[in-house]
Amino acid sequence: MKHEIKNTPFYRKHIQAGAKMAEFAGYNMPISYTGINDEHATVRNNAGVFDVSHMGEFILKGADALDLIQHVTTNDASKLINGQAQYSCLTNNEGGIVDDLIVYCIEQNKVYMLVVNASNIEKDWNWISSHNSANVEMHNISEKTCLLAIQGPNAAKILQPLTGIDILNLKYYTFVKGTFAGVSNVLISATGYTGSGGVEIYFEDSGDCAEKIWNSIFELGDPQGLKPIGLGARDTLRLEMGYCLYGNDIDDTTSPLEAGLGWITKLNKPVPFTAKEIIEKQKLAGVNRKLVGFEMIERGIPRHDYQVVDAAGTVIGKVTSGTQAPSLNKAIGMAYINIEHASLENEIYISIRSNPVKARIVKMPFV
């Protein structure tokens, strides 16, 4: 049976704006409008609007909500106070990553929102539910939640007239709730995925809210060079920052320590998380491979799943993400490399159509 592709509430806006559309995580999504390089530069230098309404949102409520979050996520959510958010991940029983996510503390110890990847909504929901022994109240609000990410150095300045909330001084990984463009109960956060600053706005898809907010943003932003941006530029922007993309750089078979996510893996937090013991052992023994950033020395574009080889042609790893980086005018990528070859500045070769093409391991972020 062919599955039906869903549209976000902004589908018609994308079509009107001339977007090239494609299926992503079961949704019709804009890949690009004016071209990836142009859109990438718009976000790095000014501001752009991403429709990311395909993302998943879960509300967890009740006296045991924090304990459940602590049990399924690796970071320490007990540190969060109202209005703070935290990057974290869910681990499976083998120490792999079920998903990476953001935990928002709406009401300390009582109400939290988890924002998960679009392709993992059902998987994450089932995984968290399977650990919900205390009957924490859970609501999957993904279908009725709109999410726009307005990213770039001028994003907050452009949007400020649409709200009485001070979004110019919103600290990284914090959020506020209030009225935006005449729509009440909008959550505005600063947890962006581009490395260029900006805000994300979450609101319920009811009545003409989506239309109203989109129109208000562009009426104000158009004269200031604000543009809609597709998922193509979202990928090049996050890769320049060395941010992981689930399904490419992290998945059920990669551990947080291999992925360089030790900083969100709190082994001493009050409530132990799933796979804590496995990851403790890994930490003691050391990992066998590591996610590294690399830049191409010779010409060639690295792509997902290309093999990485040493000077003798022995396979030492695999590319997870790669692209021609618009800000740098060079090709970059990330790869899992055997630990003995994973040192900074080490020369490696990417096997592109069976040809070894020289590259060098470099520190991330790339920009």
Distance of CA 320 to the CA centre of its chain: 15
Question: How confident is the model over 176-196, as a mean pLDDT?
Answer: 97
pLDDT in tens, 334-347: 999 999 999 999 99
Q: What is the pLDDT of residue 2?
A: 60
pLDDT in tens, 273-331: 999 999 999 999 999 999 999 999 999 999 999 999 999 999 999 999 999 999 999 99
**In the chain, what are the domains?**
6-53+143-240 (3.30.1360.120), 288-362 (2.40.30.110)
Q: What is the pLDDT of residue 3?
A: 74
> The whole model's pTM is what?
0.97
pLDDT in tens, 105-150: 999 999 999 999 999 999 999 999 999 999 999 999 999 999 999 9
Considering the chain, what is the average pLDDT of its residues? 97
pLDDT in tens, 3-46: 789 999 999 999 999 999 999 999 999 999 999 999 999 999 99
Q: What is the pLDDT of residue 160?
A: 98
